[in-house]
């Protein structure tokens, strides 16, 4: 029997697979395709202090082995999410992670504090790395002292474990990771998207109305694996890995690199059943490569 | 309910310039699809699926017809798929047209270019229920015209082409004066056309089908939103639409 | 008649297409496939002060729409290159750009100065961004003041125009570009590869013996286009663009974003005739989208 | 000279476990290829080509035979390519074995697993020129064995399998004592096997064919270098090799 369980701060996961924030809404739509209780956890779409309408459309574009998006954090606001979305997800036997976003430190504190009051949310993912918000999100994500500061404030505003989501658009990912670890982060979540652009030749305009968008999908997988590997050598808090995962083999690659659990994003669009299929395939994949449990494989890359 | 289905390609042929008619077999989708809904089609090597409207359904033969224009890498690849192959499809997607015959005697269909296909299944459904169907169809030029006979079987049909190489010259709006009395109108086509129509037919009850670049196609990613006049402020084309009351949305 | 000519510092290009450094050796192998005189220019494989043997093998791995490489700047050294390689390329009617690499500022100066003495080299591409050299290359490429310093020194050591090749592994590409522009760079060349890693499941080892390698190919194209666009808004020196180009449409996308010429790297491995085929296709592509010349299209993205 | 050629797949069949024999038609490559050279094959959706040795050539029919093992995404995709399809190939690649009969009466071929294929074309070429050919072929197990009869037609052939399920049990080195006198030896197979052989046959003149992950496949990218005992210090497997004098390289 292959043991898929993973124990992380605040999260008692039956398996290491969860849909990534923004790629699964609040779960409703995908509940048509399979039983969400199968998932290790669900990371909800970003929540901000108030409702946000996001960027103009088009908001997505296809790239070679990936896609660009600039949704712009559209969401109904933290209170509506707690009122309408969390109760729906609480019906399922899975952990709920709230993705916390904002334009100011105060907004991050507000959102984190509001989630703190609900018993059904098990952890926070601190989204300091969304490249599509202009007011300041980007600065939190590429500046280690800003990142540390928002982490510290959010830790004070909430009792929930905090996983800080790192941006790959930086010169020194290890420096970012160490800064938020020192500031009290309980874990890391990485990577968010890389900023990209695509120009539509017939109109000569950027394909994304916001001009630039975040690149995700298999194209960025080698960057994610490298960053997780590097960070793992320098921090002791656990990592939720993501970036281009589409198969159980990919999950094992992320575990070997140092992730303790993984999130699947873009692949949900290609195949709405992907998380369920990966969970089914994972035991045989672990076994094939000589592992008896997920915990067994974490960080086991051979150098 | 939308499901992930495997659809077998039964036939595929180019019926007008760059325009392909494809028949796909699948019992679930043929049984449940209503006019205006779409298929979200996966093409190998592509991370995003392609939304294509359902143009016709033959429930007996379990066939779904789609009509698409070769515009880019995805539709060109779809055009190469041979009979017998299986397509990975999410469907039926979105909310289609409400077919409501109560108090109606005539409906007007206005289709432009690759917006013509969803009009056909809608028209056929109305015609089968004894409603008069008038169609105004616009194409770029003669070589792009398709399904003229099919629409004529449903009722009076006016063709316009941008360059006048077939039917009347101009836009579908130029032909609207030829149309007699009708109850509701239904339209699908390029955004400028829809704007012109909803403007011209402001007094009428109408339903329009909209397009936007999609990520998930199921309502989860917020890629395909559209501003609305309602309190909530937006709708998702993939799951709330693609069909909207013309007076509800901001074009 | 579509005009493909581009005039850049030191380079009088008959067309904007050149093979990227490291992806075309010193031209010999590809001269079997087509006449190198067809090319706008040729960027040679990196040159260091002395011969280098590079990294252990395997040095390359395939990724989704891309590849990783960690060649480690293997080359016969600047003198042997001038002796054996430049004369061969000088037989062709095309411009020759030397890619200058090193581990210390002194080495960069030495290499640049040595190329200066040969009449057949028309410009230098200053490779401060190779992620596969451990001794210091990476620091030059991610630190604006180091980058400025090496640019200044190389400008002094040589009279040739200097195109500084930027690394995309940075938080602030515009800051890097401005720093080297102020230091006297005549142009920019961007982007080099993004650092990535891939783990081979059967052995649990990194697929690249060097552990990490540089990611190139279509996967990184949106990142390249975005960086070129951003930099173009802030500097006035010309940009040689590269990163995932495989077609004349891609070339036009780079021109619109702000590149004045482009280099094609990884695609040479997929199709050794690619540069020649792109040059053949370029006039029709420009015409299709309403341009009468290459110069016409530069920076013409519509925002 | 290496060229970019289009080769038509004439036949493809699985001849042993996960092992496919494919015949490709092309006049340039069939006319110019020598034993030990390889094809650098493009598979759609892959950025890097796959190097596969030439296992046989029929100059009259303009056919080139390759034999490959399904190991990963590229070889699995190649196994799916149907007869009639065209492959985009660079070839013939590299420098093959020098076939030199002067002063020779017997040559020894040692092939391991998927290193067996290039041995066949070499053995056939020697046999056609009246040289005695002795072959020692190693496979994982019985179900992996292929081309036994073909090699037997060339001369005395010993089969070994790792698990002993066919022929002798063990490695090819275990069977070398059965081989009589020979002049040169030629070998291709996994690195540990080549190390063991070159060690054991130190006194003999031998030529080995090596593998390394490749970028360009033509000598431009420095991906496939190998340390040598010569002054230059390295060789490129794709263009200087894949065949080397066993005493020249550092394994
Ligand atoms: C609800 C709906 C129904 C549609 N019905 C039809 C139909 O019946 N027949 C038909 O020919 N076309 C239809 N379209 C348009 C069709 O989806 C696009 O032509 C197609 O996606 C283009 O893909 P491509 O790869 O060929 O083009 P590319 O330009 O290469 O596509 C790149 C990306 O942009 C997206 N995209 C490009 N154009 C559109 C568009 N107009 N709308 C949405 N996404 C787009 C693609 O899906 C893809 O993700 C419909 C669109 C929607 C939203
Ligand atoms: C000169 C030469 C001749 C060869 N001849 C044969 C032959 O006749 N029959 C045969 O079955 N195999 C042969 N090989 C090995 C064959 O190239 C690999 O098995 C094949 O490339 C694996 O590709 P894949 O996509 O299936 O595997 P993957 O592991 O998915 O490949 C990923 C990448 O690694 C490379 N790679 C993986 N294994 C090898 C390897 N052993 N050598 C070089 N590159 C590798 C691939 O080319 C690709 O770029 C030869 C290799 C070389 C260098
Ligand atoms: C459409 C879309 C929306 C996203 N929205 C969010 C978000 O709201 N918050 C967040 O932290 N990450 C967001 N992301 C990033 C993903 O959670 C994930 O980090 C990234 O896409 C890499 O994983 P992938 O390659 O598997 O998609 C979004 C990604 C996509 C594609
Ligand atoms: C195998 C390989 C070797 C390279 N060697 C060099 C080099 O020596 N010097 C350099 O400046 N860039 C080098 N590069 C980077 C390329 O010149 C180019 O910047 C990068 O690959 C992006 O372009 P592409 O996606 O078209 O390959 C190398 C790239 C590859 C793939
Ligand atoms: S496409 Fe994802 S919400 Fe409509
Ligand atoms: S594969 Fe490029 S030099 Fe051998």
Summarised one tens digit per residue, pLDDT across range C7-57 is 999 999 999 999 999 999 999 999 999 999 999 999 999 999 999 988 999
CA–CA dist C230, B219 (Å, integer): 32
Does the pLDDT at position B13 exceed 90? yes
Q: Please check whether residue C55 is in contact with residue C209, taking contact to mean a CB–CB distance below 8 angstroms.
A: yes
Specify the CATH number for A6-297; select among 3.20.20.70, 1.20.1050.10, 3.30.450.20, 3.40.50.300.
3.20.20.70
For B151-173, the pLDDT digits (tens) are 989 988 999 999 989 888 889 88
pLDDT at C104: 87
Candidates A8, A17, A112, A130; catalytic one: A130
Structure tokens at C293: 């010349």
pLDDT tens string for chain A (303 positions)? Answer: 899 999 999 999 999 999 999 999 999 999 999 999 999 999 999 999 999 988 999 999 999 999 999 999 999 999 999 999 999 999 999 999 999 999 888 999 999 999 998 989 999 999 997 655 555 545 788 889 989 999 999 999 999 999 999 999 999 999 999 999 999 999 999 999 999 999 999 999 999 999 999 999 999 999 999 999 999 999 999 999 999 999 999 999 999 999 999 999 999 999 999 999 999 999 999 999 999 999 999 999 999
pLDDT of D117 above 70: yes
Closest CB to C219 among A66, A68, A206? A66
Cite the DSSP H helix spans in chain A. 78-80, 86-90, 105-116, 137-142, 144-157, 173-182, 221-232, 248-257, 267-270, 274-288, 294-297
In the reported structure, the alpha carbon of residue A27 is separated from the centroid of ligand 5 by a whole-number distance in angstroms of: 13
Domain boundary among B45, B61, B93: B93
Residues D88 and D116 in one domain: no
CATH number for the domain harbouring residue B113: 3.40.50.80
Taking 90 as the threshold, does the pLDDT of residue C133 lie above it? no
Phi, psi of A19 (to 5 degrees): -70, 145
Q: Is residue B174 part of a domain?
A: yes
> Atom 15 (ligand 3): residue with closest C-alpha?
A192
The domain boundary, picked from B72, B93, B114, lies at B93
Same domain, B14 and B81: yes
User: For D139-149, what is the mean pLDDT?
Assistant: 93
Strand segments, DSSP code E, in chain B are 3-16, 19-25, 38-42, 50-53, 56-58, 63-69, 86-93, 106-112, 132-139, 157-161, 168-169, 184-188, 206-209, 225-227, 234-236, 243-245
- Cα dihedral A62, A65, A68, A73, rounded to 10, equals 120
**Residue B245, strand partner residues:** B207
Provide the total of helices (H) and of strands (E) in chain B, helices listed first: 6, 16
Q: How far is CA D50 from CA A72, D128, D188, in A?
A: 42, 30, 17
How much is the average pLDDT of C165-175?
Answer: 95
DSSP at C85: I
- What is the tally of helices (H) and strands (E) in chain A? 11, 16
**Residue D38 to residue D91: CA distance in whole angstroms:** 7
Which pLDDT does position A131 carry in this prediction?
58
Backbone phi, psi, residue A134, to 5°: -85, -25
Which chains have 3 or more CB–CB distances shorter than 8 Å to chain D? C
pLDDT at A133: 53
pLDDT for B46 equals: 95
Whether B239 is in a domain gets the answer no
Residue D163 in domain: yes
Residue B58: which domain range? 3-93
Q: Indicate if B67 and B147 belong to the same structural domain.
A: no
Query: Does residue B161 contact residue B141 with C-beta atoms inside 8 Å?
Result: yes
At D251, the pLDDT band (50, 70, 90 cuts) reads: confident
Between helices C173-182 and C144-157, what is the axis angle to 10°? 30
CA angle C172, A62, C216 (to 5 degrees): 50
The predicted model scores a pTM of 0.96
pLDDT at position A300, please? Answer: 97
Q: Is residue D219 part of a domain?
A: no
Q: For residue C28, which residues of chain D lie inside 8 Å, CB to CB?
A: 219-220
Strands B206-209 and C261-264: unpaired
A195 neighbourhood in chain C, CB within 8 Å: 223, 226
Question: Residue A138: what pLDDT?
Answer: 54
B24 Cα: distance to centroid of ligand 4 (angstroms): 45
Report yes or no on B64 lying in a domain.
Answer: yes
pLDDT at D247: 86
**Whether residues B85 and B111 fall in one domain:** no
Instruction: Confirm or reject: Cβ of B210 under 6 Å from ligand 5.
Output: no
B9: domain CATH number? 2.40.30.10
In this model, does residue C136 exceed pLDDT 60?
Answer: no
Looking at residue C130, its pLDDT comes to: 64
Do D78 and D114 lie in one domain? The reply is no
Residue B5 has pLDDT above 70, yes or no: yes
| pLDDT at site D102 | 85
pLDDT above 90 for D4: yes
Q: How crowded is residue D134: how many other Cβ atoms within 10 Å of its Cβ?
A: 22
For β-strands B86-93 and B38-42, DSSP reports them as: antiparallel
**In Å, how far from its chain's centre is CA C57?**
23
The reply to whether B116 falls in a domain is yes
pLDDT, position A130: 64
D214 and C60: CB-CB below 8 Å?
yes
Q: Same domain for B117 and B205?
A: yes
DSSP helix/strand/coil, D28: helix
pLDDT for the residue A103: 86
What confidence category does residue B93 fall into, taking pLDDT thresholds of 50, 70 and 90? very high
A32-36, B177-181, D2-6: which range is least confident on average?
B177-181
Q: Does a structural domain hold residue B117?
A: yes
B142 and B76 in a common domain: no
Q: Residue A254: closest CA among chain C residues belongs to which residue?
A: C199
- Closest-CA distance of chain D to residue C206, Å: 14
Mean pLDDT in chain D? 93
Measured between alpha carbons, how far is residue D112 from residues D22, D150, D190, D194, D251 in Å? Answer: 19, 16, 7, 9, 16
Q: What angle do CA C125, D238, D50 make, to 5 degrees?
A: 100
Asked if the model's pLDDT at residue D223 lies above 90, the reply is yes
Closest Cα in chain A, distance from residue C102 (Å)? 20
pLDDT at B231 over 90: no
Residue to substitute in B19, B46, B50 for testing ligand 1 pocket (most ligand atoms within 8 angstroms of CB): B50
Among D73, D212, D223, most C C-beta atoms within 10 A, so best to mutate, is: D223
Give the list of residues 6+ apart from residue B71 with CB closer than 8 angstroms, or none: B18
Note whether B9 contacts A: Cβ–Cβ < 8 A: no
The pLDDT value recorded for residue B123 is 94
CA distance B122 to A209: 33
pLDDT score of C238:
98
* Residues B31 and B114 both lie in one domain: no
Distance of CA C301 to the CA centre of its chain: 22
Q: Which of C64, C222, C300 is nearest residue A196 as measured by Cβ atoms?
A: C222
Q: Between A and B, how many CB-CB pairs are < 8 A?
A: 98
The answer to whether the CB of D19 is under 6 A from ligand 2 is no
Give the tens place of pLDDT for each residue, D76-88: 999 999 999 999 9
Residue B52 has pLDDT above 80, yes or no: yes
Q: Which helix (H) or strand (E) holds C180?
A: helix C173-182
B231 domain-assigned: no
Nearest CA to ligand 6 atom 3: D219
Does pLDDT of D94 surpass 60?
A: yes
How far D182 CA lies from chain C's nearest CA (Å)?
34
Q: Which of A183-197, B42-56, C118-132, C234-248 has the lowest mean pLDDT?
A: C118-132
Active site residue A130: yes
* Subunit contact C63:A289, Cβ cutoff 8 A: no
**Domains in chain B: how many in total?**
2
């Amino acid at each position: 029997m292959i043991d898929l369980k993973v124990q992380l701060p605040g999260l008692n996961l039956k398996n290491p697979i969860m849909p990534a924030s923004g790629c699964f809404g609040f779960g409703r739509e995908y509940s048509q395709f399979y039983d969400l209780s199968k998932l290790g956890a669900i990371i909800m779409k970003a929540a901000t202090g108030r409702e946000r309408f996001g960027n103009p459309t088009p908001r997505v574009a296809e790239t070679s082995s990936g896609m660009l998006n600039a949704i712009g954090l559209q969401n109904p606001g933290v209170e509506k999410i707690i009122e309408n979305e969390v109760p729906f997800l609480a019906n399922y036997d899975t952990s709920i992670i709230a993705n916390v976003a904002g334009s100011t430190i105060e907004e991050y504190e507000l959102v984190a504090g509001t989630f703190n009051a609900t018993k059904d949310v098990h952890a926070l993912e601190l989204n300091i790395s969304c490249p599509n918000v202009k007011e300041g999100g980007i600065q939190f994500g590429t500046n280690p002292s800003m990142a540390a500061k928002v982490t510290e404030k959010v830790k004070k505003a909430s009792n929930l474990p905090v996983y800080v989501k790192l941006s790959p658009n930086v010169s020194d990912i290890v420096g970012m990771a160490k800064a938020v670890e020192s500031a009290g982060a309980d874990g890391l979540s990485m990577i968010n998207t890389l900023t990209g652009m695509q120009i539509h030749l017939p109109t000569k305009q950027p394909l994304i109305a916001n001009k630039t968008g975040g690149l995700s999908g298999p194209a960025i997988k080698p960057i994610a694996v490298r960053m997780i590997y590097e960070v793992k050598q320098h921090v002791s808090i656990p990592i939720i890995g993501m970036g281009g995962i589409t198969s159980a083999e990919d999950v094992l690659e992320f575990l070997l690199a140092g992730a303790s659990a993984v999130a699947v994003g873009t692949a949900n669009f290609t195949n709405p059943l992907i998380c369920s299929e990966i969970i089914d395939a994972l035991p045989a994949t672990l076994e094939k490569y000589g592992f008896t449990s997920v915990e067994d494989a974490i960080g086991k890359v051979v150098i | 309910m939308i499901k992930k289905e495997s659809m077998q390609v039964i036939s595929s042929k180019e019926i007008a310039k760059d325009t392909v008619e494809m028949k796909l077999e699948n019992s679930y989708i043929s049984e449940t699809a209503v006019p205006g809904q779409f298929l979200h089609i996966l093409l190998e090597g592509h991370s995003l699926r392609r939304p294509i409207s359902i143009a016709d359904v033959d429930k007996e033969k379990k066939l779904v017809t789609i009509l698409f224009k070769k515009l880019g890498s995805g539709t060109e690849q779809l055009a190469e798929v041979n009979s017998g192959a299986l397509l990975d499809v999410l469907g039926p997607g979105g909310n289609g047209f409400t077919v409501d015959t109560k108090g109606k005697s005539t409906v007007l269909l206005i289709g432009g270019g690759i917006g013509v296909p969803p009009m056909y299944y809608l028209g056929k459904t109305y015609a089968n229920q004894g409603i008069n169907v008038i169609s105004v169809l616009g194409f770029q030029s003669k070589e792009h015209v398709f399904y003229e006979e099919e629409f004529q079987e449903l009722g009076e049909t006016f063709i316009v082409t941008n360059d006048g190489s077939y039917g009347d010259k101009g836009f579908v709006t130029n032909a609207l004066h030829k149309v007699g009395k009708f109850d509701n109108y239904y339209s699908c086509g390029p955004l400028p056309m829809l704007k012109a129509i909803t403007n011209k037919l402001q007094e009428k009850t109408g339903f329009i089908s909209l397009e936007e670049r999609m990520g998930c196609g199921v309502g989860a990613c917020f890629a395909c939103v559209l501003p609305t006049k309602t309190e909530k402020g937006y709708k998702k084309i993939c799951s709330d639409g693609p069909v909207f009351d013309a007076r509800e949305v901001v074009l």
